[in-house]
């Protein structure tokens, strides 16, 4: 599932259409992605507006169109954003939303349809309330040490790795980032957060911010492969070795999510 860096990468795929007017909207009304706002409603209301800006927040995206039209988008498991030239484009089976602009097309493709689209009309420059109420992202200045510590201490029985996946506290952090954070901290992923001493918390806060920033820089910019010094390149299948100590990595289920760690470094 796309995490914050992949979301940031996809958000920018629609940039070629900025400042252009939506001339035509194609929708697939039967696609499950329109479960919050009807496909026909989106089709009618976006036509004639101008695409003015876009934002990412954790695993969510927001596309701003003129006159306060806000298209919210969640990629789900398999959603992708891309563009196509006006000529030579043939609509594919899984292209559920296609916006024809003046000289490009913006496309949302989603084979498994766990993604989601919604349209809010506020009529002005203010995004809808639900967007404004999202918790701070790990890279935001509002994600302070104190904010983080307060959140973590609310869930003393939850393993650190599991807690890092909680979108109420760490929007945009998914499975590989949570494993990377625990590994860089040299903390076993199943360590209950209540067992972590206060003295380690500033370090955890720092590494969460560092991994988030690094992920956006490396993957979010042009989907570059992270360096081999990260756990990332070694974690995907059995037989990987720890880039720090070269011991074999372990993979097991932790509260329903495949977790990879180095027992030598993380105890």
DSSP state of 158: S
Measure the CA dihedral 182/186/189/195, to 10°: -110
Residue nearest to Zn ion (CB): 242
- Minimum distance from residue 212 beta carbon to Zn ion (Å): 22
At what angle are helices 4-12 and 201-222 packed, to 10 degrees? 30
Rounded to whole angstroms, the Cα distance separating 111 from 31 reads 10
CB nearer to Zn ion: pick between 80 and 234: 234
Nearest approach in angstroms of CB 234 to Zn ion is: 10
Compute the least distance from the CB of residue 192 to Zn ion, in Å: 22
95 Cβ neighbours under 8 A, 6+ residues apart: 26, 28, 107, 108, 109
Kindly tell me which of 113 and 181 has the beta carbon lying closer to Zn ion.
Answer: 181
How far, in Å, CA of 106 to CA of 14, rounded?
6
Q: Are the C-beta atoms of 53 and 11 separated by less than 8 Å? A: no
Nearer to Zn ion, 27 or 188 (CB): 188
- State in angstroms the smallest separation of the CB of 5 from Zn ion: 24
CB 259 within 8 A of CB 189: yes
CA quadruple 138, 144, 149, 152: dihedral, nearest 10? -20
Q: Considering the complex, what minimum distance in angstroms separates the CB of residue 187 from Zn ion? A: 12
* Token pair of 123 as six digits: 């009529």
In whole angstroms, the minimum distance from the beta carbon of 241 to Zn ion comes to 8
Minimum distance from CB of 244 to Zn ion (Å)? 4
Q: How far apart are the first and last CA of the chain?
A: 28
Q: Which residues contact 19 (CB under 8 A, 6 or more apart)?
A: 50, 51, 52
Q: Which is nearer to Zn ion, 155 or 250 (CB)?
A: 250
Q: CB nearer to Zn ion: give 27 or 242.
A: 242
d(CA 42, CA 48): 12
Residue 27 vs 249, nearer CB to Zn ion: 249
Interface with Zn ion (CB under 5 A): 242, 244-245, 247, 262, 264-265
Residue placing its CB nearer to Zn ion in the complex, 4 or 207: 207
Coil, helix or strand for 193? helix
Tokens 């929708």, located at residue: 27
Closest distance of CB 233 from Zn ion, Å:
14
Complex with Zn ion: residue 111 or 264, whichever CB lies closer: 264
């Amino acid at each position: 599932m796309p995490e914050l860096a992949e979301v940031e990468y996809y958000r920018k795929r629609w940039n070629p259409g900025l400042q252009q007017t939506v001339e035509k909207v194609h929708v697939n009304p039967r696609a499950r992605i329109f479960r919050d706002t009807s496909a026909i409603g989106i089709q009618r209301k976006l036509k004639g507006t101008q695409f003015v800006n876009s934002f990412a927040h954790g695993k969510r995206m927001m596309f701003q169109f003129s006159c306060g039209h806000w298209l919210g988008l969640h990629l789900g498991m398999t959603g992708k954003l891309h563009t196509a030239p006006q000529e030579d484009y043939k609509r594919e089976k899984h292209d559920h939303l296609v916006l024809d602009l003046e000289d490009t097309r913006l496309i949302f493709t989603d084979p498994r349809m766990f993604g989601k689209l919604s349209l809010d009309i506020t009529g002005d420059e203010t995004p809808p309330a639900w967007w404004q109420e999202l918790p701070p992202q790990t890279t935001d200045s509002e994600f302070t040490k104190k904010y983080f510590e307060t959140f973590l201490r609310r869930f003393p029985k939850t393993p650190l790795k599991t807690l890092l996946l909680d979108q109420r506290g760490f929007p945009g952090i998914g499975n590989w980032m949570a494993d990377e954070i625990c590994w860089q901290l040299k903390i076993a992923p199943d360590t209950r957060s209540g067992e972590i001493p206060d003295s380690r918390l500033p370090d955890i806060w720092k590494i969460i911010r560092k991994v988030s920033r690094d992920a956006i820089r490396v993957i979010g910019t042009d989907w570059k492969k992270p360096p081999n010094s990260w756990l990332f390149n070694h974690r995907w299948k059995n037989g990987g070795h720890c880039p720090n100590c070269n011991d074999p990595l372990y993979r097991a289920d932790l509260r329903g999510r495949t977790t990879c760690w180095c027992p030598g470094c993380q105890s």
